[in-house]
Amino acid sequence: MKTLAYVNMPAVEVELTGQEIYDLWAVAKQHYDAHCRSCASEGGRLYGFLNMLETSPTNPDLAAIKDKRIKVTLDFDALDTFAKICEMMSHVEVDAGSLNLWFRIMSELNSLKERYSRTDLVPA
């Protein structure tokens, strides 16, 4: 194997509420796409976020986590997957406050697209 270049991959730090994480988890569990479903399964990103909120990832206690907040760093792929999960929110009962999550995620995705370019490559 030969290293050709190092690539700087942009990411953003975001704050999510327990309600938003719960809603993403609930939608992801029922999503048509296997990759989105895997986010809510053991080893998945949303499963881990529920652990960070100190609730059971298999049976979260929404009342206990609703108002908690966590900061997480998400790269383009994670944001893109979360946007895909959010597209299904209209088919699953979620908190009204979580419905604007898709717009916030898309805003972050657009910001990353604007800042990232192939000029970020550094020769090995």
Tell me: pLDDT of 109 over 60. yes
Average pLDDT (112-118) is 70
The distance in angstroms from the start CA to the end CA of the chain is 13
Tell me what the pLDDT averaged over the chain comes to: 86
Q: Looking up tokens 């717009």, which residue turns up?
A: 103
For residue 99, name the pLDDT band (cuts at 50, 70, 90).
confident
Task: Select from 3, 6, 10, 2 the least CA-distant residue to 76.
Answer: 10
Average pLDDT (61-70) is 90
Give the single-character DSSP code of 73: E
Instruction: Check residue 40 and give its pLDDT.
Output: 94
Instruction: Check residue 44 and give its pLDDT.
Output: 95
Rg (Cα) of the chain, in Å, rounded?
A: 16
Which tops the pLDDT comparison, 5 or 44? 44
